[in-house]
């Protein structure tokens, strides 16, 4: 007779096909845990999406009308109703909340109704907590009485918290957390990002981009949003030689602002904008690039940095959020200052002018990622969390 699998109910505001770093982390971890059963509740956000679905090892239950804003707003209540119904059928051992968000409030409601359920909170947030003020028009008073109490509820009810960086662990402690906290970062698909390609692949990409001999490509992979400060990268090109270009892979709400900056500075011939692409394609462009850059204003961890390091592309980042967990200045990358295009240009010049520094950072970065950030290792750490909480 086979041993009964432990059951985990995941709460996530968004999920497949709306996949960012946090959702991809859940995907990578759960598909490596075939000895657990996973159900997941999320906002529907698109009328075309079925209310019940499956992705890899997760049964998905979407709630809402298919309207992004309304579904997120009502998720705490509809999510709880769905969770209560599922619990009465499946009696979950663990409720796993992905981030302190709308979905986490539904998880708290379930915990109140069924106290025997162990609540695990995973902090993945890349934005500062003050970003939540946007829900009340930036009003600090309304934020403190209408938003913050709900936001903090999952911190107070959690039985165990994992954070993807020491920065987010500190945020939890600052919010008065009393339960155990472990830092478990997101990982990298080592096989995918350290794969070897046939020699013609870089040539094909080089031909597509028209990369000429002696040109240096800065690259960023990820969303064009405010916190990634990619306008600063474009402005940094003014302080760099004409042979330095910038390749951006991914779209976002800052696209038009970026295009405006490119036009104003007359840099159309030095900036290449490409749409979002799957990792299997993106890694080919990373291999052709010379330097990865993201001058973040805030960052939970920064998986795109780790992916670039795994490929063998040296990185430039700011000393904010979780970035200092893996970026040691002069050893595994170079720091630049926040909101300072000249500082970005200076870091780029260091790489270009010092080949020994460049090669050392490439080697150190690859070694760091291979030893500490594989999804197999991250999954093992999460498994230990689940086992420890089930045995308490």
For the stretch 51-95, pLDDT in tens is 999 998 999 999 999 998 999 999 999 999 999 999 999 999 999
Residue 293, both tokens? 């850059």
The SS3 of residue 107 is helix
Say what the pTM is.
Answer: 0.89
Q: What is the pLDDT of residue 134?
A: 67
Query: How far is the CA of 85 from the CAs of 39, 41, 158, 204, 231, in angstroms?
Result: 12, 12, 21, 53, 47
Percent helix, percent strand, percent coil in the chain, to nearest 5? 45, 20, 35
Res. 1 pLDDT band, cuts 50 70 90: very low
Peptide bond into 17 cis (omega under 30): yes
Q: Which of 21-30, 78-87, 175-184 has the highest mean pLDDT?
A: 78-87
Q: Which sign does the torsion angle of CA 339, 341, 346, 352 carry?
A: positive
Phi, psi of 180 (to 5 degrees): -70, 145
pLDDT in tens, 309-322: 999 999 999 999 99
Phi, psi of 163 (to 5 degrees): -130, 140
Res. 146 pLDDT band, cuts 50 70 90: low
Across the chain, what does the average pLDDT equal? 92
User: Per-residue pLDDT for 198 more than 60?
Assistant: no
pLDDT in tens, 323-332: 999 999 999 9
Q: What is the pLDDT of residue 196?
A: 60
User: Per-residue pLDDT for 180 more than 90?
Assistant: yes
Query: Distance of alpha carbon 331 from its chain centroid, rounded?
Result: 23
Bridge partners, residue 291, by sequence: 218
Contact 71, 63 (CB under 8 A): yes
CATH T-level assignment (fold) for domain 6-187+374-390:
Rossmann fold (3.40.50)
Does the fold of domain 190-372 match that of domain 6-187+374-390?
A: yes
Q: Are strands 52-55 and 180-183 parallel, antiparallel or unpaired?
A: unpaired
User: Would you kindly state where each structural domain of the chain is located, as residue ranges?
Assistant: 6-187+374-390, 190-372
Considering only the top CATH level, what class is 190-372? alpha beta
Mean of pLDDT values over 227-255? 96
């Amino acid at each position: 007779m086979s041993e009964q699998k432990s059951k985990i109910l995941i709460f996530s505001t968004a999920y497949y096909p709306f996949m960012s770093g946090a959702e991809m982390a859940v995907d990578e971890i759960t598909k490596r845990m075939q000895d657990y059963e996973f159900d997941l509740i999320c906002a529907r956000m698109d009328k075309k999406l079925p209310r019940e679905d499956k992705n890899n090892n997760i049964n998905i239950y979407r709630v809402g009308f298919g309207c992004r804003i309304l579904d997120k707003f009502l998720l705490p209540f509809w999510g709880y109703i769905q969770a209560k119904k599922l619990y009465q059928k499946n009696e979950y051992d663990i409720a796993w909340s992905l981030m302190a968000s709308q979905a986490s409030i539904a998880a708290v409601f379930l915990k109140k109704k069924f106290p025997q359920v162990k609540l695990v909170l995973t902090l993945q947030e890349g934005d500062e907590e003050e970003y939540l003020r946007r829900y009340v028009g930036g009003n600090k008073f309304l934020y403190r009485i209408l938003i913050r109490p709900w936001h903090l509820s999952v911190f107070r009810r959690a039985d165990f918290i994992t954070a993807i960086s020491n920065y987010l662990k500190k945020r939890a402690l600052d919010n008065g957390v009393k339960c155990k906290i472990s830092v478990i970062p997101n990982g990298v698909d080592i096989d995918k990002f350290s794969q070897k390609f046939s020699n013609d692949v870089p040539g094909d990409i080089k031909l597509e981009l028209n990369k000429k001999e002696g040109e240096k490509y800065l690259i960023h992979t990820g969303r064009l949003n405010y916190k990634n400060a990619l306008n600063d990268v474009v402005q940094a090109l003014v302080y760099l030689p004409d042979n330095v270009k910038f390749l951006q892979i991914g779209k976002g709400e800052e696209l038009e602002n970026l295009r405006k900056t490119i036009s104003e500075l007359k840099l159309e011939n030095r900036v290449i904008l490409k749409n979002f692409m799957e990792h299997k394609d993106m890694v080919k462009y990373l291999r052709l690039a010379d330097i990865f850059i993201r001058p973040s204003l805030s960052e939970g961890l920064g998986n795109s940095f780790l992916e670039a390091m795994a490929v063998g592309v040296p990185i430039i980042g700011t000393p904010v959020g979780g970035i200092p967990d893996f970026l040691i200045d002069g050893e595994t990358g170079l720091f630049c200052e926040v909101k300072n295009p000249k500082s970005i240009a200076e870091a780029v010049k260091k790489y270009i002018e010092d080949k020994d520094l460049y090669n050392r950072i490439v080697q150190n970065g690859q070694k760091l990622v291979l030893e500490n950030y594989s999804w197999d290792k991250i999954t093992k750490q999460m498994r230990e969390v689940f086992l420890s909480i089930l045995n308490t």
